[in-house]
Structure 1
């Protein structure tokens, strides 16, 4: 029988132990991404922070599960998993699709008076901006071409037919979720929000990233990096410094 604890272990991955008074950092992967993408972030901030990396259905050890192809539904499911945890001051970090998902999850948690201290939205234009995108409707070759354009997947994976075949269903499902996502224009969170973007990102202009300011009533900050969509791999230390900056003012948890 699957218990609630077993279900949480499927969704929430912890790679390093944290202290009882540690704050919490929740990391939301990009489209096609997995929890292990944030292993370096966990190594950097534990035990100062309890770093939780989300594992969406349809990838790696969850590849036999169907992908969740609606972003709102995925945010609902993640919200329920996070609400079941002990209360700790929390920061969210999400890249690309993960940025929109972090925002939607934060908004849902704030409706339950359990929102994060800060959301860091990386590599994603603000929800108030729209583009006509249909990558999820392409054939397999078309999705692979998009992956190469964004340079977000190691060349070895793109050249390994077996691994690629396993990854494509998650990619298609995630692209469907983010490309059909629609946010009410007046949706705002109360927490601080920091937008991170690559100057040459083909999916997000600096102006589109700046419009994240319209979606918070709290403090807003924009940081622009050289590079494209996956600027964070090129500037890992600087991006981790931004995460550290967000964690610094968060008070430690009260040890029970």
Structure 2
């Protein structure tokens, strides 16, 4: 699916009747980060968003803006929602949280607001500060990114660094240029999650995602750092399951939310 010339893919199937869950990877990540989620979200149709320039889209040019990624993802997901008659649930971790949020806004413009927005490892739009890493040489850049965790093997093996460096540079460039525009709150429920030891976040900054929606809001905390998700995917998805709809119709019904979420705080 294209958006401003940018192509994204949706990995997975949408031929069931349960919730339609779209997952957005972190910076430098790919659809394979969610390869276990169909098992963890049994009964749901899990679609992992594949950004250009990695895995099976290695030959596709990188996006020039985060908004371009969201445009392309919204087009692909609106098509999937129309074909299945289900509004999608959006989940994104780290950079993926911002792409998911921007995609949610674009889906609303298409009368296909998500059934749920779930974000992880990312402060609310008003609290986001762009990273300043583009000026660093490759080694210093990788060392700074590695402070978040998950790049130990890359730092030990230069051949791996050569493979992941272009997509990391591209994605951090998107984050460096990204400035969330003011937007009216969504009406869907929202869930925000963080690792309790994440050095990039404050709990109040994550909790402020409640201002992105007029629907129910819940804040989830898990042990671990920025990539707590690697050890806590089963725990996180277990928390998300009660909030997943059975398959909601298109178009969205503005202002409706599922019961059972923690009431949003004023």
TM-score, length of structure 1 as denominator length: 0.87
Residue 264 (structure 2) aligns with: none
Residue 217 (structure 1) aligns with: 214
Q: Secondary structure at the match of 1:235?
A: helix
Matches within 5 A, 1:164-183: 164-183=161-180
Residue 252 (structure 1) aligns with: 247
Cα distance in 2 between the residues matched to 1:116 and 1:231: 25
Cα distance in 1 between the residues matched to 2:211 and 2:189: 12
Structure 1, unpaired ranges of 5+: none
Q: Secondary structure at the match of 1:222?
A: strand
Residues 134 and 25 of structure 1: CA distance in aligned 2, closer, same or farther (over 3 Å): same
Structure 2, unpaired ranges of 5+: 250-266
Cα distance in 2 between the residues matched to 1:223 and 1:124: 12
Query: What displacement does 1:72 show?
Result: 0.9
Residue 102 (structure 1) aligns with: 100
Query: Does the 8 Å CA contact 2:87/2:248 hold for their aligned counterparts?
Result: yes
Residues 115 and 145 of structure 1: CA distance in aligned 2, closer, same or farther (over 3 Å): same
Query: What displacement does 1:237 show?
Result: 1.8
Matches within 5 A, 1:103-252: 103-153=101-151, 155-247=152-244, 250-252=245-247
Residue 33 (structure 2) aligns with: 37
Cα distance in 2 between the residues matched to 1:138 and 1:49: 42
Query: What displacement does 1:251 show?
Result: 2.5
C-alpha distance after superposition, 1:205-256 (max 9, x if no partner): 1111011111111111111222211111122221111221221xx13368xx
Cα distance in 2 between the residues matched to 1:104 and 1:18: 22
Query: What displacement does 1:145 show?
Result: 0.6
Query: Does the 8 Å CA contact 1:69/1:177 hold for their aligned counterparts?
Result: yes
Query: What displacement does 1:201 show?
Result: 1.2
Q: Secondary structure at the match of 2:221?
A: strand
More displaced 10-residue stretch of structure 1: 195-204 or 119-128: 195-204
Q: Is 1:92 the equivalent of 2:87?
A: no
Cα distance in 1 between the residues matched to 2:14 and 2:130: 42
Cα distance in 2 between the residues matched to 1:10 and 1:74: 7
The alignment yields a C-alpha RMSD, in angstroms, of 2.3
Query: Does the 8 Å CA contact 2:197/2:225 hold for their aligned counterparts?
Result: yes
Residues 253 and 193 of structure 1: CA distance in aligned 2, closer, same or farther (over 3 Å): closer
Residues 122 and 212 of structure 1: CA distance in aligned 2, closer, same or farther (over 3 Å): same
Residue 254 (structure 2) aligns with: none
Q: Secondary structure at the match of 1:91?
A: strand
Residues 188 and 137 of structure 1: CA distance in aligned 2, closer, same or farther (over 3 Å): farther
